């Protein structure tokens, strides 16, 4: 396979995320496809079931503020040092989105079940948590291999319709290097389709390089690629460029109101020049 067979422009890439899809996106410390999320908002996508892996931040808040999201399954929603995502908080208070509370291990375990092609996976650490009262889809059974009382939780597989990630590079065959960010590889294995924006395409083969292969998602898991330099901005991409702290702080401040979010979106998403 050649990368050219996978490469599309950004608008074509996000057109492959249908309304109503379950969409997995990485946490802020990983490969955030921020440019693709902005393009998805411009397209007017609706009714997404958002699965941040395992926590949601700026990208999730943008999508919620723009009215693209109907439900979220995540371990937490946070802007880190910038506080609670303001549009998420408003949507929860107003009953506009549904929240499926989870934990980091449960999100990863559910994706691992999908990766392995099994319907559920056992997980012990949730026992004792009040989350079990709110997640009727998590089942507590007794360990069938134990002769004693030994409860364990069964977590259903999480099979996203689409995983959307940003990475530093793809090679000429369409293999995508994510380095130590193995959660993106897990997302690609679990999802029915994986859409990737990359900083560049390199004329090499990552899978023949022992130093690169372990951190590379093979092209067979990639549905489409788009070359978008700076595609994680303003969130930042480890090893390439830092987050724009001033821009992120400004968002957290102005998006506390619906009007402030709209003004921000007009500038940062739709490219409108303030009057």
Residue 141 lies in a domain: no
Domain encompassing residue 28: 10-119+157-268
Name the 3-class secondary structure at 82: helix
Candidates 219, 115, 134; CA nearest to 172 is 219
Between the CA atoms of 32, 35, 38 and 39, what dihedral angle is there, to the nearest 10 degrees?
A: -130
User: For residue 207, what is the DSSP state?
Assistant: G
Residue 150 lies in a domain: no
Residue 187 lies in a domain: yes
What is the chain's pLDDT, residue by residue, as a tens digit (275 residues)? 577 789 999 999 999 999 999 999 999 999 999 999 999 999 999 999 999 999 999 999 999 999 999 999 999 999 999 999 999 999 999 999 999 999 999 999 999 999 999 999 999 999 999 999 999 999 999 999 999 999 999 999 999 999 999 999 999 999 999 999 999 999 999 999 999 999 999 999 999 999 999 999 999 999 999 999 999 999 999 999 999 999 999 999 999 999 999 999 999 999 987 75
Cα 262 to the chain's mean position, in Å?
23
The CATH number of residue 84's host domain is 3.40.1080.10
List the alpha helices (DSSP H) in 177-225: 182-190, 210-213
d(CA 42, CA 66): 9
Residue 227 lies in a domain: yes
CA angle 267, 271, 272 (to 5 degrees): 70
Looking at residue 61, its pLDDT comes to: 98
Looking at residue 273, its pLDDT comes to: 77
Are 13 and 228 contacting, i.e. CB atoms less than 8 angstroms apart? Answer: no
Residue 84: CB partners within 8 Å, gap ≥ 6? 77, 78
Looking at residue 3, its pLDDT comes to: 77
Q: Exposure pattern of 178-196 as b/e (b: 16+ CB <10 Å)? A: bbebebbbbbbbbbebbbb
Domain tally for the chain? 1
Residue 148: CB partners within 8 Å, gap ≥ 6? none
Residue 151 lies in a domain: no
Candidates 199, 164, 190; CA nearest to 40 is 164
Looking at residue 1, its pLDDT comes to: 54
Rounded to whole angstroms, the maximal C-alpha distance in the chain is 73
Name the 3-class secondary structure at 136: coil
Residue 124 lies in a domain: no
Q: Exposure pattern of 151-161 as b/e (b: 16+ CB <10 Å)? A: ebbbbbbbbbb
Model pTM score: 0.96
d(CA 161, CA 24): 8
Q: Which two tokens stand for residue 58?
A: 């700026």
Residue 4 lies in a domain: no
Residue 239 lies in a domain: yes
């Amino acid at each position: 396979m050649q990368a050219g067979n996978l490469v599309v422009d950004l608008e074509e890439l996000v057109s492959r995320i249908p309304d109503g899809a379950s969409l997995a996106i990485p946490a802020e410390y990983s490969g955030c496809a921020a440019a693709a999320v902005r393009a998805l908002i411009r397209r007017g996508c609706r009714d997404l079931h958002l699965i941040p892996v395992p926590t949601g931040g700026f990208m999730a808040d943008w999508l919620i503020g723009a009215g693209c999201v109907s439900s979220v399954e995540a371990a937490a929603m946070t802007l880190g040092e910038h506080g609670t995502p303001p549009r998420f908080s408003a949507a929860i208070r107003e009953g506009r989105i549904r929240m499926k509370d989870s934990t980091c291990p449960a999100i990863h375990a559910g994706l691992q079940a999908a990766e392995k092609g099994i319907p559920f996976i056992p997980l012990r650490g949730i026992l004792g948590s009040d989350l079990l009262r709110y997640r009727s889809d998590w089942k507590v059974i007794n360990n069938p291999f134990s002769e004693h009382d030994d409860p364990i939780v069964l977590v259903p597989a999480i099979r996203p319709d689409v995983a959307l990630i940003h990475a530093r590079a793809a090679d000429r065959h369409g293999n995508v290097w994510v380095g130590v960010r193995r959660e993106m590889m897990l997302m690609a294995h679990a999802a029915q389709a994986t859409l990737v924006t990359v900083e560049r395409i390199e004329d090499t083969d990552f899978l023949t390089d022992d130093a690169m292969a372990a951190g590379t998602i093979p092209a067979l898991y990639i549905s489409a690629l788009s070359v978008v330099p700076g595609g994680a901005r303003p969130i930042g991409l480890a090893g390439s460029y830092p987050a724009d702290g001033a821009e992120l702080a400004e968002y957290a401040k102005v998006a506390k109101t619906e009007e402030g979010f709209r003004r921000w979106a007009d500038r940062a998403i739709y490219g409108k020049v303030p009057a």
